[in-house]
Chain A
Amino acid sequence: MAELKATRDAYGEGLVELANEYSNFYVLDADLAKATKTITFKKQYPERFIDCGIAEGNMIGVAAGLATCGNIVFASSFAMFAAGRAFEQIRNTVAYPHLNVKIVGTHSGLTVGEDGATHQCLEDLGLMRTIPGMIVINPSDATQMKAALRFAVEHDGPVYIRGGRLAVPVVYPEGSVTYTAGQSYRIAEGNDVTLMFCGHFHELTAQVKELLASVGMTCRIVDMPSVKPVDNKAIEDALKDTGLIVTFEDHNINGGFGSAVCEAACEVDFARKGPAVIRIGVEDAFGKSGTPAELMEKYGFTAEAVCRKILAAKAPEKLSLLDR
């Protein structure tokens, strides 16, 4: 039986380990230190811990201000109040200027448990994923959480890390994994279906694999904490090798990890027939000032720009005809 540990506990411990190595490293919380486990950091580094009170919007702004002065800043609350209540503060004041603020939302998903729906954030991955330049990570166990924290500190820019309340198996031995943006971990091999998950789904996917084995089907299992960016290669390989991907997330199926995998899957040039879907829209960027017409053109909303994408996918030999 594996040791059980919540990713929030690993968060508190990871902060202490990183603070040993970095100066100008500050941790903010909104009166939930005992729950998010930033209390572990506070005990060790009280002078580097700032309680912002129950005011998440202000906390994110304070974090942004600290970041403009060259500090590494972690800001924590429950996922609901960090990603949810403070969404616009994160969008406009942290991400638009691409500031070095790391937001860690704990108590995500149904596994918050008895507190019920108001506290079970099932939307944070979707919200954070829509913000240009934001890296979104949902670690599956304590070890991966610490690896994600190290990545976050070394990365220059905003990162959202999703943690959980529930104690879950520590699957990877302490210190055994590293993490970088877009990474996934193939943890089981099989041919018929790929089980792809973010967050605490080691146990469920292992059980599914075992049950399918009993009817003669084999599963590949991919642990993909990288909600944004996803590991495109792992998704493409899964489609080519197994033909079916099943995604798992403790989150609404709309807008989160499953949606991110679908987007990548639709854009795979599968069997050289071109992608199934081409998305025309703003490509993970912020807008800017300009007339509406100028902006639509600048961001690719013209018949020619769209046609070039279609031809590049379906009939590259016709691309030159557009130059006439």
Chain B
Amino acid sequence: MNTECMAKEMRKLILTSLYHAKSGHPGGSLSCTDILAVLYNEEMNLDPADPKKADRDRFVLSKGHAAPALYAALALKGYFPAEDMVTLRKIDSYLEGHPSMKSTPGVDISTGSLGQGISTACGMALSAKLREENYRVYAVLGDGELEEGQVWEAMMFAAHYKLDNLCVFVDLNGLQIDGTTAEVMGSDPVPDKMRAFGLNVIEIDGHDYDAIRAALKTARETKGQPTCVVAHTVKGKGVSYMENQCDWHGAAPKQAEYEIAMKELENNG
């Protein structure tokens, strides 16, 4: 499956799982889908048959509420059957509302409480440095998540310990629960702040596959400094009525909405 096709299938799985769950977070799952598609389909050294392989690359979804996007990527790569996506958030499911490493194969760390995942990504990257191992660590932060002070503690740490095996994406979709990030808690200019914290900053369109690929290549080639890819994205990307709408941060589509979304995703592929 090529990456474009994988992203389209991921979006459909995200919608389907949320529709069946009747709750969850479509907006922020759809905004980081293309980034995850490139990471899982092209970039990361992984073995779905051996999810805990020691030399695998690690992935940390620091914005854990985008769990459906992560699960969709894992399902399409064969970590578990895609049919199980409809059990998302259900009582006997292994697909928790937020990623749980004890429940779901392929999840490298449990996340959900914002600001915490990025620190664990630093720990994973540091372990590789200390033990002279070659794997890389990828993390995705939300832009609302940047309001958590711990993110900046982690950025300081990553730069201080020269974690050049760490590549952090900021899914900059501009919206959070209570409004735009500009209204709720302005974090601009994100690239300047990241640069000031010592990161190698690359700014891209987070839905442009070639731009994502190029950023990852630069990150791999950058020595002595962690990379931060500030990815400009559209919250709800791919579903017209969800795009740039705050209210689709944490609401599941009802049947009619679900059908429209699936039709749009099918036709736009």
> Which residues of A are interface residues toward B (Cβ below 8 A)?
24, 26, 47-48, 50, 52-53, 55, 57-71, 88-89, 92-93, 96-98, 288-291, 294-295, 298
CB of A290, distance to nearest CB on chain B (Å): 3
- B178 is an interface residue with CB less than 8 A from chain A: no
Interface centre among B96, B117, B120, B124 (most CB of A within 10 A): B120
Which stretch (B150-158, B183-191, B204-212, B245-253) binds chain A?
B150-158
Residue pair A50, B126 in contact (C-beta under 8 Å): yes
B119 touches A288 (CB 8 A): no
Whether the pair B124, A93 counts as a contact (CB closer than 8 A) is no
Bitwise interface map of B from 9 to 44 toward A, beta carbon under 8 Å scored 1, else 0: 000000000000000000000000000000000000
A289 lies within 8 A of B93 (CB): yes
B100 contacts partner chain A, Cβ-Cβ < 8 Å = yes
Q: Are A69 and B112 in contact (CB under 8 A)?
A: no
Output the nearest chain B residue to A290 by Cβ-Cβ distance: B91
What residue of chain A has the Cβ atom nearest to residue B108's Cβ? A68
For A65, give its contact among B96, B102, B112, B120 (CB under 8 Å).
B120
Residues on the B chain within 8 Å of A92, using CB: 110, 112-113, 116
Choose from B90, B109, B119, B157 the contact partner of A53 (Cβ within 8 Å).
Answer: B157
CA distance A67 to B112 in the complex (A): 18
Q: Is the CB of B119 within 8 A of A65?
A: yes
Residues in chain B near residue A64, CB distance under 8 A:
109, 119-120, 123
Q: Is the CB of B113 within 8 A of A294?
A: no
Number of residues from B at the complex interface, CB < 8 A: 44
Which residues from chain B contact A93 at a C-beta distance below 8 Å?
109-111, 113, 116-117, 119-120
State the CA gap A291–B22 with chains docked (Å): 10
Establish whether residues B157 and A52, one from each chain, have CB atoms under 8 Å apart when the complex forms. Answer: yes
Prevailing SS type, chain A contact patch: helix
Contacts A55-B156, A70-B54, A97-B102; is A60 near B110 (CB within 8 Å)? no
Bound Cα distance A50, B95 (Å): 35
User: Is there an interface contact between A291 and B91, defined as CB atoms closer than 8 Å?
Assistant: yes
- Residues of the A chain whose Cβ atoms lie less than 8 Å from the Cβ of B122: 58, 61-62, 65
Q: Which of B100, B130, B157 contacts A97 (CB 8 A)?
A: B100
A128 CA to B108 CA, complexed, in Å:
25
What are 22 A-B contacts with C-beta separation under 8 Å?
A: A26-B130, A53-B153, A53-B156, A57-B115, A59-B119, A61-B116, A61-B118, A61-B120, A64-B109, A65-B60, A67-B123, A68-B120, A68-B123, A70-B54, A89-B113, A93-B110, A93-B111, A93-B119, A96-B110, A97-B101, A289-B90, A290-B90
A interface footprint on B132-160 (CB within 8 Å = 1, 0 otherwise): 00000000000000000110011011001
How long is the Cα–Cα vector from A93 to B125 in the complex, in angstroms? 16
Q: How far is the CA of A69 from the CA of B165 in the complex (A)?
A: 15
Contact assessment for B124 and A58 in the assembled complex, using a CB-CB cutoff below 8 Å: no
Contact of B150 among A26, A61, A290 (CB under 8 A): A61
Beyond A62-B126, A290-B91: 19 further Cβ-contacts under 8 Å?
A: A47-B130, A57-B149, A57-B150, A57-B153, A62-B154, A67-B123, A68-B101, A68-B108, A68-B124, A88-B116, A89-B116, A89-B150, A92-B116, A93-B109, A96-B100, A97-B109, A288-B103, A289-B93, A290-B89
Q: How far is the CA of A234 from the CA of B103 in the complex (A)?
A: 37
CB-CB under 8 A from B150, the residues of chain A are 55, 57-58, 61, 89
Residues of B within 8 A of A55 (CB): 150, 153, 156-157
Contact of B91 with A65 in the complex, beta carbons under 8 Å: no
Residues 74-99 of B contacting A (Cβ, < 8 Å):
89-91, 93, 95-97
A50→B108 CA distance, assembly (Å): 22
